[in-house]
Amino acid sequence: MSLWNDMSWVPALRTPFLNQMFELITLMGYPLFLIMFLCFGYFALGSKRFFHTAMLLMATGLLNAWLKDFYQDPRPAADYALDAGVGTSYGWPSGHMQIAVVLWGYLAYSVRHTPYKTLAYWAAGIFMALQGFSRLYLGVHDLGDVTGGFILGCVCLYAYVAAENHPRLSRGVAQLPVSQAVASLFVLQLLYVVFYPSHLEHEAPIWFAGAMMGWLLGRYGMQGAQVNLPGNAFAKLLVAAGLTGLSFIWMALTTRLPNALDLADTAVAGVVNYGFGILFGWGIIYLLPKVLSKITGAAQTA
């Protein structure tokens, strides 16, 4: 067995304490944590920064799902696995690793002009390393999967940052009318779904595509205004935590209602899932800040 696929060294490292630690770390790479973290960050840590973080994260997540179902690379033997959350998903590339590079790398990059730059880069590197190693330790990815996720994460991060720093391109995107921006994203997502390598129990993540569209629509609805929570730093954190709790409820509703409808027609079910995903993204980016603005009168600044 090649080095890229060999997992025989993993069991010898395991202890009860490390099992719990790496199970906790790996939870930070699953959708529930990621979505709630993005919501909290949007409200408390900079709405513009976390709008871009979310768009990049959702794009790289959709790419990872497509690649997994295209290559259908098997995970390591089930005897090694300590993480039951992987379900029937495939191995290459590691989504946890790819997303960790994009998420923590972009957040570190976004504070590059502050005194926290060095600390942010070190923290990002540590989070990436821990996330990648957790997948090896828990026996659900081999070294080839994690390396592939790391490389693809770096490519996605570099491409997004390069686009942001390209004066002509970034200016053109910023000046794009909402109709053209929405139409462009919709066409890309439609092509994504049409050419998705679907097979039994492996369908395109349409709800997440809808959430990405809703995130974009909500941003345009805000017309460049940034979320500015009322009160001192502690009060802002409490308000952000409360809004994140509401976001969790909203996510539960928009993900479970389509299933409750029990639609037999696959195409109709896809449209409904996409629509509920839009409602989720739009509700977080636009609706919650607008409601808070009506209540406090101080939730937005231009």
pLDDT by residue (tens digit) across 29-48?
999 999 999 999 999 888 88
Q: What share of the chain in percent tops pLDDT 70?
A: 97
What's the one-letter identity of residue 261? Answer: L
pLDDT over 80 (residue 262): no
Tokens, residue 71 = 């290559």
Can you count the helices (H) and strands (E) in the chain? Answer: 12, 2
> Residue 22 pLDDT more than 80?
yes
Helix (H) or strand (E) holding 226: strand 226-227
Average pLDDT over residues 85-91: 90
Measured CA to CA, the distance from residue 166 to residue 148 in angstroms comes to: 27
pLDDT at residue number 261: 80
Q: What is the pLDDT of residue 297?
A: 62
Q: Which residues contact 155 (CB under 8 A, 6 or more apart)?
A: none
Share of the chain above pLDDT 90, in %: 67
Residues 6+ apart with CB under 8 A from 289: 43, 47, 222, 227, 299, 300
- Mean pLDDT of all residues in the chain? 90
Q: How many angstroms separate the CA atoms of 139 and 229, rounded?
A: 42
Strand partners, 301: 226
- The pLDDT-based confidence of 229 (bands split at 50, 70, 90) is confident
Amino acid identity, position 12: A
Calculate Rg over the CA atoms of the chain.
Answer: 20
Q: SS3 for 214?
A: helix
Q: How confident is the model at residue 300 (pLDDT cuts 50, 70, 90)?
A: low
0.75 exceeded by pTM: yes
pLDDT at 302 over 50: no
